[in-house]
A and B are shown apart, each in its own frame.
Chain A
């Protein structure tokens, strides 16, 4: 089969998997409304926290153009992409095991990596909607600054972040395939990133050795790039170091994670534990 029809076949499969998850989500009608109000409470919580901690000294240590509310809101909202990236592959594998569809999916003409990639689309799109709602509440009610943001740049940072985070997510799913429970990959990455990634404070407040460690976690580049694009109005050229960092992570993590995932899949197919919990 030629490359073009193969690509269109794969895109159709990704679309079908996305549509499956959208249809399942639509069948739980109240969930979206609940999420909108949850975002309102989250946004309001950060706003009042920022009023409590805001001081001229704090403002001086934040990147230009940011008050603590907007700094923390971007940090929290986009840190969640890392959580989704890490959990989405695990979750789709676990769901397929639990609802008994895994074997039926595996005997189709679609490889497991494509099934997992397709299954991760809806969570990322849903996350984007949720982030938009968070920022929307922040802008409408609490003065989050939207004017002058470089949305194209933010989109590029987001795309590169999703690729890098997906590499970590596939590594996490490989662990789940082999060991079934208690995923330390997920725990270690999320724990480390929440301390050194700059979610609630700039990494400049960290001890120097932790700042070096921060440079080894992709979420640091993601949050720096997002804040620079949305709050600092940086041009796309100015965002290139963050984007390049994320692309480098993706270039290393994606092939590595696919290789490890293939090994894990083969191992579970030999040991007969693929569908075990």
Chain B
């Protein structure tokens, strides 16, 4: 049994940013930059050793239950359901665990799965669904309790290009456009980031290098593309660290 201080490494340092209601923020950075750690802290899955983070005014370490009431969380993995249960059985279970009554659950499932294109598939076992549909189901689960903030960790990681484009369109039109949900997502796919995000937070080795609009980032780096921007910012950070 080792002390916690020996088991932890500083994954994030000196990060500070705010996201306004209805905004879409992308978190980008290389592997190990701290994107998933940041999302896990904000979704109460990790407890920060130092510093403070709030979601909708609630502290993630002091009032995690209140934070969880406000958030939805979906990861890009496709093995996050009970595969031998039907899509509906999965949604009913998670709705119940989010304190939604049985009548309200039935209403919300009907309401949310229609636009997600899942209506016909609800009574099929999850193991028989395609990866794209499992992702939609994951998003439906994250949205079922009408969260104010939606956290997505590499949401299109295991989707083919067409399904990914379809999924992004859905996020923009329905989740953000229709429901006005605030969205914070981590992604490696720069086209996805450009298409979805209002602002982009760039992380490198646990530090926040910049947090601005795409145009603002490009201007600050003196670059033409997002890819070039990231290269310049991270190179500059490495030089400063040395």
Contacts and interface: CB of A to CB of B under 8 A. Distances in A.
B4 A270 contact: yes
Given A16-B93, A107-B44, A270-B46, A101 B82 contact: yes
B43 A107 contact: yes
Contact of A108 (B11, B37, B68, B82): B68
Given A103-B80, A108-B94, A271-B8, A20 B85 contact: yes
B103 interface: no
A9 interface: yes
Contacts of B99: 9, 109
A100 B80 contact: yes
A171 B114 CA distance: 44
Interface stretch (B70-78, B115-123, B211-219): B70-78
B46 to A, nearest CB: 6
A98 B84 CA distance: 14
B189 interface: no
A110 B44 CA distance: 13
B85 to A, nearest CB: 6
Given A103-B45, A106-B45, A272-B40, A27 B92 contact: no
Chief secondary structure at chain A's binding surface: helix
Contacts of A115: 97
Interface in A95-137: 99-101, 103-111, 115
B96 interface: yes
B65 A109 contact: yes
A24 B125 CA distance: 10
B89 A269 contact: no
B94 A104 contact: yes
B83 A99 contact: yes
B199 to A, nearest CB: 24
Interface residues of A, number: 33
B47 interface: yes
A215 interface: no
A23 B81 CA distance: 14
B135 interface: no
A267 interface: yes
Nearest to B2: A271
Contact of B7 (A17, A99, A271): A271
A28 B93 CA distance: 20
A100 B75 CA distance: 10
B127 to A, nearest CB: 10
A13 interface: yes
Interface string B77-109: 101111111000100111011110010000000
A107 B68 contact: yes
A272 B8 contact: yes
A16 B45 contact: no
B73 A103 contact: yes
B69 A109 contact: yes
Contacts of B141: 104
B238 interface: no
B242 interface: no
A13 B73 contact: no
Nearest to B153: A103
A13 B98 CA distance: 9
A9 B177 CA distance: 33
B49 interface: yes
B46 A272 contact: yes
Contacts of A270: 4, 8, 46-47, 49
Interface of B: 1, 4, 7-8, 11, 37, 40, 43-47, 49, 65, 68-69, 71-73, 75, 77, 79-85, 89, 92-94, 96-99, 102, 125, 141, 145
Which 10 residue pairs spanning A and B have beta carbons closest together?
A: A108-B97, A100-B80, A16-B96, A100-B79, A27-B84, A110-B97, A269-B47, A271-B7, A107-B73, A109-B99
6 contacts: A12-B96, A20-B89, A99-B80, A101-B81, A109-B98, A271-B4
Interface of A: 9, 12-13, 16-17, 19-20, 23-24, 27-28, 99-101, 103-111, 115, 178, 266-267, 269-274
Given A20-B93, A109-B98, A271-B8, 16 more contacts: A13-B97, A16-B92, A23-B84, A24-B84, A100-B80, A101-B80, A103-B80, A104-B94, A106-B45, A107-B68, A108-B68, A108-B97, A108-B98, A115-B97, A178-B1, A269-B46
